Amino acid sequence: MDKEEEVRVNGTLVWYYNVCEREAWLMSHGVTPDQSDANVEMGRFIHEKSYRRETKEVSTSGIKIDILRKEDGQLVIGELKKSSRFKEITKWQLKFYMYELEKQGIKARGELLFPEEKRKEQVFLTQEDRLRLDNQIKEILRLVYQSEPPEPIKIAFCKNCAYAEFCWA
Amino acid sequence: MKRSFYIMSDGEIKRKDNTFVFENDSGKKYIPIEELNDIYVFGELTLNKRFLEYASQKEVPVHFFNHYGYYIGSFYPREHLNSGYMILKQAEHYLDSTKRLFLARQFVAGSAQNILHVLKYYINRDKEMLNDTYYAIEELMGRLEGCTEVSQLMAIEGNIRDLYYKAFDLILENPDFSFEKRTRRPPQNYINTMISFGNSIIYTIVLSEIYKTHLDPRIGYLHSTNFRRFTLNLDVSEIFKPIIVDRMILTLIGKKMITKSDFDKNANGIIMKDKGKQLILQEIDKKMGVTIKHRELGREVSYRTIVRMELYKLEKHLMGEKEFKPFQSKW
């Protein structure tokens, strides 16, 4: 990674960082996973087929939001995931988005959406969350500016990870 | 598991909604795009830009061969996995002669290792007379360490291959398929024709896998790079030729599945008839689908995946994460 190049921490990176630091490093260096991995395809497919009627994937500085609508004059942002297995991690990604919007003066409500399970969940941002996110953004920057990726460590996520073949080759 | 699609007969290929349809005298064949790894074209094929556009969108490389089975070139769609970081690393290892020499040596050593593995198989099956070849190749392998130029590595590799191909005569004991010497463009006898054809297939298999990584196929280390032609696939193919192509050739001839009646002579030397080409494609395709247990990954992976993982190993070497050690066959 070029030292002069400014890295923007975005929601995706926050998500990966919480799953696996190595994955976050690889992603930030453009070393993207094998696109033919079944789970990668699944994610793309869910994206293409779900919540068609709502606006999706709106981009603003460093943010790509899956679902966006206005409800009683308030903005609602959502994050789409295949299953609730990654609930905690997705929640932090969503909180990151809410925080980023807040910094731009936009108050938003968050919703976690699980199209396969036909459920949704409300997400709120507390003062504690804001502090934690500030720290996390610093840690992520420290990580992506390292010249080498962290060594692979076997964790539960490896089983379905698109990077597995790369990490364990 | 995505599959390769082979077009042997003459016809036309078109995009039809979300599939490709191949049409010839005997009817239409629909190819579901989501299951397609790549397309091999041997027949006289008519195609249009819409087809290429869709192949590109769906990230499907198309490999073309002429009427005699010689490789023409590939439609290599716009790279979809781009990492400036990786390209820089790839170039760095090319421009630094010590780093380049290291990788070039690994490809030759990996090839030699797997050549010895093939010979061992036959030595264990009462072909003790191959021992001389085995030791001679071992001795040549020992000289790789002392090489200071890529050209020296190439020379040793040439010597190893000569010894090894000569040993085919001892393995096959079939006068129809005596090796004599390696001839290319055009190959002058049956076995050379099979080797050339098999090698060109493995080159395209590796190229299709490179397409799924962040590597640039134009930067190779052993085969000299001129930045205009794909070379990295030639490098990586060296490792897999003995275990995929050579073994298959020895088996097909040994079992009399291919005989001299599968060849034609023409002004261009010896060419293979379609039936023989089809058989070789079928055997290689079958082999690419065979799975072996991968210990670190903790599951079964196909030979095609092994090839891709070899490229991942190369990426990790370039990243300075783990030194590249070529794949060694254990079966």
Question: Residue B314: closest CA among chain A residues belongs to which residue?
Answer: A169
A151: chain B residues, CB-CB within 8 Å:
321
Kindly determine whether residue B80 and residue A35, on different chains, have CB atoms separated by under 8 Å.
yes
Is the CB of B6 inside 8 Å of chain A's CB atoms?
no
Residues of chain B with CATH 3.100.10.20: 3-75
Chain B residues with CB inside 8 Å of A169's CB? Answer: 296-297, 309-310, 312-313, 316
The residue with tokens 């399970």 is: A117
| B83 to A166: CB separation less than 8 angstroms, yes or no | no
Which residues in chain A touch residue B84, judged by CB atoms under 8 angstroms apart?
30
Give chain A as a 3 state SS string.
CCCCCCCCCCHHHHHHHHHCHHHHHHHHCCCCCCCCCHHHHHHHHHHHHCCCCCEEEEEECCEEEEEEEEECCEEEEEEECCCHHHHHHHHHHHHHHHHHHHHCCCCEEEEEEECCCCEEEEECCCHHHHHHHHHHHHHHHHHHCCCCCCCCCCCHHHHHCCCHHHHCC
Confidence of residue B93 (pLDDT cuts 50, 70, 90): very high
| Residue A3 in this model has a pLDDT that exceeds 50 | no
Tell me how crowded residue A146 is: count the other CB atoms within 10 A of its CB: 11
Q: Which fold has domain B3-75?
A: Ribosomal Protein L15; Chain: K; domain 2 (3.100.10)
Average predicted confidence (pLDDT) for chain A: 77
Q: Which one is predicted more confidently, B247 or A70? A: B247
Task: Supply φ then ψ for residue B8, to 5 degrees.
Answer: -100, -35
Place of tokens 């064949």: B29
Which residue has 């992520």 as its token pair? A140
Q: Half-sphere exposure (CA, 13 Å, Cβ side) for A129?
A: 16
pLDDT of residue A51 exceeding 60: no
| Percent of chain B residues past pLDDT 90, beyond the cut | 64
The predicted structure's pLDDT at residue A115: 73
**Which residue type, as a one-letter code, is found at position B179?**
F
Q: Is A1 among the domain residues?
A: no
- Separation CA B323–CA B114 (nearest Å): 19
What's the rounded mean pLDDT across residues B114-133? 90
Contact between B83 and A29 using a beta-carbon 8 Å cutoff: yes
Q: Out of A31, A36, A149, whose CB is closest to B214? A: A31
Say yes or no: B319 contacts chain A, CB-CB below 8 A: yes
pLDDT recorded at residue A61: 45
Indicate whether A100 belongs to any domain.
Answer: yes
- pLDDT (mean) for B162-177: 89
Residues of the binding site of B for Mn(2+): 157, 223, 238
Distance between A166 CA and the closest CA of chain B, angstroms: 5
Reduced to 3 states (helix: H, G, I; strand: E, B; else coil), residue B44 is coil
Contact B297 A148 (CB under 8 A): no
pLDDT at A83: 62
**Res. B115: pLDDT tops 50:** yes
- Using CA atoms, how far residue A143 sits from A30, A130, B46, B208, B331, in Å, is 15, 20, 51, 33, 41
- Residue A49 in this model has a pLDDT that exceeds 50: yes
What residues 62-91 of chain B have any CB closer than 8 A to a CB of chain A?
A: 80-86
Per-residue pLDDT, averaged over B121-131, amounts to 86
Percent of chain B scoring above 70 in pLDDT: 98
Look at residue B283 in the predicted model and tell me its pLDDT.
94
Q: Check whether B248 has a pLDDT greater than 70.
A: yes
What pLDDT shows up at residue B39? 94
The per-residue pLDDT for range A7-38, each reduced to its tens digit, is: 678 777 888 898 899 999 998 888 887 766 55
pLDDT of amino acid B165: 92
CATH code of the domain containing A104: 3.90.320.10
With CA atoms as reference, the chain B residue closest to A32 would be B81
Residue A166 touches chain B, beta carbons under 8 Å = yes
Cα–Cα distance measured from residue A22 to residue A38, given in angstroms and rounded to the nearest whole number? 21
Q: Which residue in A32, A147, A169 is closest to B309 by CB distance?
A: A169
CB-nearest to B2 from A36, A151, A168 is: A36
pLDDT in tens, A72-117: 767 777 776 666 567 788 888 888 888 988 888 888 888 887 777 7
Query: To the nearest whole angstrom, how far is the Cα of A91 from the nearest Cα of chain B?
Result: 28
**Residue B224 structure tokens:** 């000299």
* Residues 6+ away with beta carbon under 8 Å from B321: A148, A149, A151
Do A35 and B81 make contact, defined as CB atoms within 8 angstroms? yes
Find the residue in A nearest to B36 (Cα): A36
Q: Give the contacts of B50 (CB within 8 A, at least 6 positions apart).
A: B14, B15
Q: Which residue of B has its CA nearest to A30?
A: B83
Structural domains of chain A, count? 1
Does residue A157 sit at the B interface (CB-CB below 8 Å)? no
> Do the domain assignments include residue A3?
no
- pLDDT in the model for residue B99: 96
Q: What is the pLDDT of residues B8-38, one digit of tens each?
A: 989 999 998 888 999 998 899 898 888 899 9
**A66 pLDDT exceeds 90?**
no
CATH 1.20.120.920 domain residues, chain B: 84-319
Would you state the torsion angle of the CA atoms of residues B164, B117, B303, A23, taken in this order, to the nearest 10 degrees?
Answer: -110
Residue A4 in this model has a pLDDT that exceeds 60: no
Domain that holds residue A132: 11-168
Task: Give A-chain residues touching B85 at CB under 8 angstroms.
Answer: 1, 29-31
In whole numbers, what is the pLDDT of chain B averaged over residues?
Answer: 90
Q: Which CATH architecture fits B84-319?
A: Up-down Bundle (1.20)
Report whether B187 contacts B195 (CB < 8 A): yes
